[in-house]
Amino acid sequence: MVVLPRRLLFREPLLFKAMILLNLHSTFCLKDQTIFQPAHILYTPVEFLKGVGPQRAELLRKELEIATYEDLLHHFPFRYFDKTGISTIDSINDQTEYVQLSGKIVNIYEEGEGRKRRISATFYDETGRIQLVWFQSLTWVKKSIEEYGQYVVFGKVSSFNGGYSITHPELETLARANASIGMQPVYSSTARLTAMGISNRSFAKITQSLFEKLKPTDVAEFLPHSILQQNGLMSRYEALCHIHFPENEQLLQQARYRLKWEELFLMQMQIANLRLQHIVQRGYQFEKVGDLFNQFYKECLPFALTNAQKRVVREIRMDTATEKQMNRLVQGDVGSGKTIVATMAMLLAIDNGFQACLMAPTEILARQHFQGIRELLEPLGIAVAILTGTVKGKDRKAVLAGLANGSIPIVVGTHAIIEDSVQFKNLGLAVIDEQHKFGVGQRARLWSKNEKAPHVLVMTATPIPRTLAMTLYGDLDISVIDELPPGRQAIKTIHRSDNHRAQVMGFLKNEIEKGRQVYIVYPLIEESEKMDYESLLAGYEQVKSWFPEGKFNIAMVHGKQEIEERKRNMERFVKGDAHILVATTVIEVGVNVPNASVMLIESAERFGLSQLHQLRGRVGRGAEQSYCVLLTGSGISKDSYERMRVMVSTSDGFIIAEKDLEMRGPGDVYGTKQSGALKLKIADLVKDTPILEHCRYAALQLIDQDPSLLLPQHQALKKRLQEKVGIEQWNKIS
């Protein structure tokens, strides 16, 4: 039983957080105290641990989202110091990062004023001396350090005025240090926590006090015994003990493996369950390949399909020929011919008496698809409509009526398609472009547009590494278009620093004189949007100085413009009236100008690899040789230089995506950190691919054996999944 003082009832928001986490069934009295009976010891608020208390608990919750014992248990160390050895001062050099020393402290003195106030001391052993410095908790330091006392010092070495020093060293008397030598965990923390006296060592002590309260039975094992045995996994309690306080390197590695396995396995179980729901989801059967499909294939294709396109069309045909709902992701680089494949899938639907829709994330991209599909299908006399936020009045009413009565078989649009006012007579296929730009709820609303769920075809021009595809899109069948249509030349990519700007501008003039057009793209990052916008305007003026008006026509497009102005400027470029389009990344998707032969990316070091690759794909649409010029500052970082090297060396989107994933991590690359889709505490999708593959196989095998997890040996796992993803998801199938 945990007793909370009455004053805690009015602590916001800690109390309500605690009450929710405790899942309380308690009586409480407002006079003297409130009595809480936690449903489980791990739901106890962290303030009841020795060394924490209300103030520190509130800070832990705000800074690290640690509110309960369980949160603390899963705040894993990110590295360890091997404190089994003692170094000598004369062994320290410029490569030394952390060091542990044994010796005496002398010459303790205080100096400086205000924020520069500090305590310094000299630490020496038989081989030399080093400076110790403290800027915080000075009162405690003065009370705690004894001159000429024997200490073991541990900390990060820095170089100052030709000598070495350690700032805020960990300090223990020789006797106490001998008792605590071993592998010391290092936890992520914040400046505010350090200022409150929660150092790494005190954090470890708090965690140690938690383990003193726990019994092995308090940490539930949810992995089935068969999985533990088959994969050589230690128990969950053992893994948590050894991840925080490993006795040796071998036990640490076993603990890491177990916890990574568990994290990835739970993720793959969720995906396997979603996949099973798709499999059992009833869909519409496209019984035949009809006249429209065959006529289009024989007479209307602008070029022969590549083998990759043929393969994907066959896969779609096989999916839609059954009564199960198709859920297929088609990956293909920019210009690989995904739209042709989607168009042929739509014709399959129409031949079988169904309607089809294509939903794109932006109006620009929606109109691009609309124009392309309408031109492709014009010889067949098939009506294609567009529906976006800007389609209003009579035009909108006509589209809505045509969809409801079935006279419009294909509609292309933005999220306007999923509005309640849009009703289809018989929607059989939904194509979604760049699925990661839509929320799950938005995509799911398409399913409600007919009695059964329409087939779903997802397209993306963002190459997704296999590891990430297994995680983000593991519930979908995946097709890859890995060939470019005939006649397309590879884009030549060049990296130049800013001091070659004159040569670069001369090259652009030569291309324009040949009758070509040029993109010049500037970065626009949310965190520095105002400054970037000013840089764009300054860049526009600079471009005008290189390309004087009268001889050259320049258009500018950016997100702050009115939609009509942006559309007008884009149209000038598309029609060839403007030689140069100065833009932010609003042109990343949705622009198809075959005459544009050069993509100049300003401050290219500020872009990620995948975004650079997407921008490069805006050129190379015609038969002429195209170029991508990466213009950077002269003193770029090692990582930025590596990104430029990768871009110059390959045009393979999947190689680039793998490298981007490796360099930046999945959350940064695909914008999933904020969504929680990839909130991994210990596993790494890049480094832990072999574990992920084992987990995927194990999850699919288990779901195949026991789809609803009804067997007794799977009840603990089912409970854990319900806690993690919600009860409803695991009750849909039975």
Determine the pLDDT at residue 354: 96
What value, to the nearest 5°, has the Cα angle with vertex 40 and ends 709 and 77?
85
DSSP labels for 526-546?
Answer: GGGHHHHHHHHHHHHHHHHHH
**CATH topology assigned to domain 492-650:** Rossmann fold (3.40.50)
Alpha carbon 80 to chain centroid, angstroms:
27
| CATH numeric code, 303-481 | 3.40.50.300
Determine the pLDDT at residue 186: 83
CB-count exposure of residue 564 (10 Å: 0-12, 13-18, 19+): exposed
3-state secondary structure of 598: strand
Asked if residues 199 and 170 have their Cβ atoms less than 8 Å apart, the reply is: yes
Determine the pLDDT at residue 20: 43
Determine the pLDDT at residue 437: 57
The pLDDT averaged over each successive group of 10 residues in the chain (734 residues) is 42 44 40 53 90 88 91 90 79 86 88 84 90 83 83 85 85 67 78 76 88 92 94 95 91 95 91 74 87 93 89 95 88 83 96 94 85 92 92 92 94 90 92 68 70 87 72 76 77 92 94 93 64 75 88 86 83 90 70 86 89 85 87 89 93 82 64 52 83 90 90 93 61 35
Alpha carbon 54 to chain centroid, angstroms:
34
Reported as a single tens digit per residue, the pLDDT across 600-616 is 999 999 888 888 988 88
SS3 per residue for 413-481: ECHHHHCCCCCCCCEEEEEEECHHHCCHHHHHHHHHHCCCCCEEEEEECCCCCHHHHHHHCCCCEEEEE
Which residues on adjacent β-strands are paired with residue 167? Answer: 133
How would CATH label the architecture of 85-181?
Beta Barrel (2.40)
Position 354, amino acid: F
Reported as a single tens digit per residue, the pLDDT across 6-58 is 344 334 444 444 444 444 434 333 334 444 556 688 889 999 998 888 888 89
Give Cβ neighbours of residue 46 (< 8 Å, ≥ 6 apart). Answer: 52, 57, 60, 61, 66, 67, 68, 69, 71, 72
Asked if residues 556 and 540 have their Cβ atoms less than 8 Å apart, the reply is: yes
Reported as a single tens digit per residue, the pLDDT across 350-382 is 999 999 999 988 887 888 889 889 999 999 999
| 419: its two tokens | 């509005």
Cα distance between residue 133 and residue 166, in whole Å? 6
- Pairing relation of β-strands 410-413 and 355-359? parallel
Asked if residues 316 and 328 have their Cβ atoms less than 8 Å apart, the reply is: yes
Cα distance between residue 353 and residue 262, in whole Å? 47
CATH 3.40.50.300 residue window(s) in the chain: 303-481, 492-650
Determine the pLDDT at residue 425: 93
Termini Cα distance of the chain: 38
Closest CA to 302 of 396, 198, 379: 379
- Burial readout 156-180 (b: 16 or more C-beta within 10 A, e: otherwise): ebeeeeeebbbbbbbbbeeeebeee
Interaxial angle between packed helices 249-280 and 689-705, expressed in degrees from 0 to 180 and rounded to the nearest 10: 50
Query: Half-sphere exposure of residue 206, counting CA atoms within 13 Å on the CB side?
Result: 26
Determine the pLDDT at residue 3: 46
Determine the pLDDT at residue 15: 46
